[in-house]
Amino acid sequence: MHTKVSTVSILLLVYYLFIASCGQNAEPPASNSVASSSTPNGEAIYKKYCIACHGAIGDMGMSGAANLQQSQLPLEARIALIRDGRNMMTPFKGILSEEEIEAVAHYTMQLSQSN
């Protein structure tokens, strides 16, 4: 009888450890989507999602895409435009997180400064 009780308590202990470690592992994937670091890489996002229309250095102009090297838009307006889209440009709010949109907007600011 004594051995049976301790087996049950060990099983319970293992069970609780399992639940606790699952809880810890479940948290990080919920908060980040693309990059494993906390700050998303704007350049990597640009190369993945924006090159098709804007080109590697921002001046390709595919499907009427604005020339990002000549863009005068301030950062906040770029964030809003990338989030909500405009005319032929698709909105990215369902594709990129808010942090990723900000990071890629920052990156486009560098494209227009390298002029």
Residues at the contact surface with ligand HEC, assessed by CB under 6 A: 46, 49-50, 52-54, 63-66, 68, 71, 73, 78, 81-82, 86-90, 92, 104, 108
User: C-beta of 114: minimal distance to ligand HEC in Å?
Assistant: 15
Closest distance between ligand HEC and the C-beta of residue 37, in Å?
19
Side chain identity, residue 97: S
Measure the CA–CA gap between 36 and 34, rounded to whole angstroms: 7
- The amino acid at residue 69 is Q
Give the other-Cβ count within 10 Å of 78's Cβ: 21
- 79, 73 in Cβ contact below 8 A? no
Please measure the distance between the N-terminal and C-terminal CA atoms of the chain and give it in whole angstroms.
82
In the complex, minimum distance from the CB of residue 39 to ligand HEC, in angstroms, rounded to a whole number: 16
Measured from the CB atom, is 20 or 88 closer to ligand HEC?
A: 88
**Of the two residues 40 and 50, which places its CB atom closer to ligand HEC in the complex?**
50
C-beta of 27: minimal distance to ligand HEC in Å? 27
Q: Which is nearer to ligand HEC, 23 or 94 (CB)?
A: 94
Nearer to ligand HEC, 32 or 55 (CB): 55
Q: Say which residues have a Cβ less than 8 Å from residue 103's Cβ, sequence separation at least 6.
A: 39, 40, 41, 42, 45
